[in-house]
Structure 1
Amino acid sequence: MGDYDSQGALYEANKERALIYLAIFREIQKRHGKEEAIDVMRTALIKRGQEFGNTLKHFAPRDFRGLCDSFAYVPDGGKMFAPEEIRCDGSGLELKMKKCPLKEAWQSSGVSDEELKTLLKCASAMDVGTMDAAGFALKIKTWQPGEEGCCYLEITEK
């Protein structure tokens, strides 16, 4: 038996997560319309994000370095999302995710730019829930056609 490729397995798991999100989104949209699909996905992902955010509460209100290390570089030290730290100081944290395995999986599956924007809006709800439960304010700008990388996050004291 060869060496186990944990990094490859992690990427494949996130690709599979993206494709599950896509299938669920499309099925809800088919049955109940686009707005309902967005609402259901965002609501569920906010709740999931809150569970993770509860583990980060001890960084509030201003330990942005601790938050950055425990949020931006999870789960693999930053390889998967390639976060660019634009700012991390006593007043806040700004990150630009240079990569996103969800976005890459959706693009590989042939979604349109419009559907990709919608899926990223849904997926970003997990970060919304995470930061809310952790006790931080979050402004997030999801990817738009023509942009490099993926999401931009500005995290500040609540």
Structure 2
Amino acid sequence: MKDDALRIELEGANANRAVLYYLIFVEVRNALGEDRAIEIMKRAIYQRGSETSLPIKQFSPNRIRELGEYHVKHSAGGGKLFNPEIQRLDDTAFEVLNTTCPLKQAWIDY
């Protein structure tokens, strides 16, 4: 499969994930109220982030430059999904601007 086709499929999968997150949030909000829905979604997202963050723990607490390099190198779709632009990368700070986000775009389009 060509790179463009893979990128399109990856964008579609992420868009589908975004809509699913939204629909789950709406159902939980309808059942339990908005405050509780936000609390539940935050906990679930935090849990998943904790699970997927294992590879970057090696950079804690002060290997900021290496963390930034790792982040950009491992950006989804070879960087084509979020198009990260490094704003700052040195030994004290890492700032990145993701110029695209398929999840946000899917929420806008939905």
**Can you give the 5+ residue segments of structure 1 that lack an aligned partner in the other structure?**
110-158
**If each structure's strand is expressed as a fraction of its own residues, which one has the higher value?**
1
Q: Distance in 1 between matches of 2:65 and 2:11?
A: 26
Instruction: Tell me if the contact between 1:87 and 1:93 (Cα under 8 Å) persists in the aligned partners.
Output: yes
Displacement of 1:55 in angstroms is 1.5
| Counterpart code for 1:44 | A
Q: Distance in 1 between matches of 2:41 and 2:83?
A: 25
**Can you give the 5+ residue segments of structure 2 that lack an aligned partner in the other structure?**
none
Structure 1 pair 87–81 and aligned structure 2 pair: CA distance change class (3 A): same
Identity of aligned residues (%): 35
| Alignment RMSD (CA, Å) | 1.5
Counterpart position of 2:10? 10
Task: Kindly indicate whether residue 44 of structure 2 is the aligned counterpart of residue 50 of structure 1.
Answer: no
Displacement of 1:34 in angstroms is 0.8
Q: Distance in 1 between matches of 2:69 and 2:102?
A: 19
Counterpart position of 1:80? 81
Q: TM-score, normalised by structure 2?
A: 0.88
Q: Distance in 1 between matches of 2:106 and 2:70?
A: 24
Counterpart position of 2:22? 22
Q: TM-score, normalised by structure 1?
A: 0.63
**If each structure's helix is expressed as a fraction of its own residues, which one has the higher value?**
2
